[in-house]
Amino acid sequence: MAGNTRVVEVNDVSKRFIIRKEKSLKERLVNAGRSKQFKEDFWALKNVSLEITSGQTIGLIGPNGSGKSTLLKTIGGIIQPTTGSIRRRGRLAALLELGAGFHQDLTGRENVYLNASILGLSRKQTDLYFDDIVDFSGIKDFIDTQVKFYSSGMYVRLAFAVAVHVDPDLLLVDEVLAVGDEAFQRKCLDKIRSFQREGRTIVLVTHSLGQITEFCDRAVLLNRGTVLFDGAPHEAVRDFREVLEERRIDEAEAHNATHEEQVPVDNGSILSTTVHAAGRAEGDPVRPGDDLVVRVTYRHPTGLDDWIAAIQIDNVQGVPVYGTASLRLGVSMGTLREPRTVEFIIRGAQFGTGKYFINSTLMDAEKKHLADVPQAVSFDVPHYDLAVGILHAEPEIRVLGA
């Protein structure tokens, strides 16, 4: 398909679902005459407009319930929008949910022919592709077994193998690839790369932000059914992390409003945590090479001897990337009673691109945790074109030999 051809046009699309509050068929029958009281409208998409041109790889990202899968299904024609319209060109192949397009009582072989016919291939064309499909799926020994006996990984293997062998102009992929093992995921991603080289159009829904920045040349961020951002993947990922942080704070505040923390009064507390790069204001990006300054204020109502102040820095996946404590540094903290602020300085920090969270901890001399504030504060490290990962280092490349 020629470059810059519009493959998909999404024009002011909204999708409404009706949420029923009745818990049983009996309740639904009893409330049939006054059903409006027991129904609620949920708008999964609100006035979404997109244009996708041939050869683009687009990632759809957003929190759970943001409308990603609904948008993908409307693009694929699986569900119809409540308002608005969608136009699509070329042959479509879609992997939208586990087992979609498969019949439980048919064998893998029969489902290959069934699925291929749904995707627009004749039996003769499927005959030509069949051996390649089976080889790619890696389930040759089970191809004549009913698919109801397949594992979730076998489902995905066979479905993906069919989808990528029907010569699609547009490939839609939902989160289903997360089900396969690592070796098969690599094979799928290699196939997606080959599709990109061939100029095919791909729309990908994934929670793996690394895949978004690695594979996509454009990303669309959805939240509560609306488009928040449409553009460069690293900028979409940055904004997505901000959305997740806002949601986390809202959930924490809601939890604190409805749950009384049962903390012994003499355990002490962490009053505040702040972070900034030396010479910069709080909230400014932390750049590689900056001195990172973390200040934590502690208090203990009855007095605590030989206490330990500690911090740990996690990435967005919750993986610890740095941690230190007063005990490790050989610092005697004296007695803690009135509020005291401890300043940790991490010299020449070399964090890679992304958002990082600081967890603050107060411990006694026996290393018992007296107070913890997970994700007390966060900081961002800007996008770096030359490399990815949680470690920043300037790369250099040399081609050795003739």
Nearest Cα to Cα of residue 115 among 129, 125, 100: 100
pLDDT digits 0-9 by tens, 164-216 = 888 888 999 887 666 667 777 788 888 888 988 988 999 999 888 888 888 89
Residues 61 and 174 in one domain: yes
**How far apart are alpha carbons 379 and 391 in whole angstroms?**
15
Report which of 328, 311, 315 is spatially closest to residue 373, judged by C-alpha positions. 311
Q: How many CA atoms lie within 13 A of 212 on its CB side?
A: 25
Query: In this predicted structure, what is the pLDDT of residue 15?
Result: 94
Percentage of residues of the chain with pLDDT beyond 90: 47
Same domain, 320 and 190: no
**DSSP secondary structure letter of residue 107:** B
Domain that holds residue 147: 6-244
- 296 with 183, same domain: the answer is no
Q: 263: pLDDT confidence band, cut at 50, 70 and 90? A: very low
Task: Please indicate, yes or no, whether residues 75 and 146 belong to a single structural domain of this protein.
Answer: yes
Tell me whether strands 83-88 and 6-20 are parallel, antiparallel or unpaired.
antiparallel
Residue 125 belongs to a domain: yes
Strand 369-381 with 354-363, pairing:
antiparallel
Query: With a threshold of 0.75, does the pTM exceed it?
Result: no
Band (220; pLDDT cuts 50, 70, 90)? very high
User: Distance (Å, rounded) from C-alpha 145 to C-alpha 261?
Assistant: 54
| Number of domains comprising the chain | 2
- pLDDT at position 264 is 45
Residue 393 lies in a domain: no
Q: What integer pLDDT is reported at residue 161 of this predicted model?
A: 87
Residue 256 has pLDDT above 60, yes or no: yes
- Which residue has tokens 């439980």? 104
Task: Give the integer Cα–Cα distance in Å for 282 and 263.
Answer: 30
Give the pLDDT of residue 86. 93
> Tens of pLDDT along 41-54?
889 999 999 999 99
CATH at residue 218: 3.40.50.300
87-108 average pLDDT score = 81
Q: Do 227 and 273 belong to one domain?
A: no
CATH number at residue 306: 2.70.50.60
SS3 151: coil
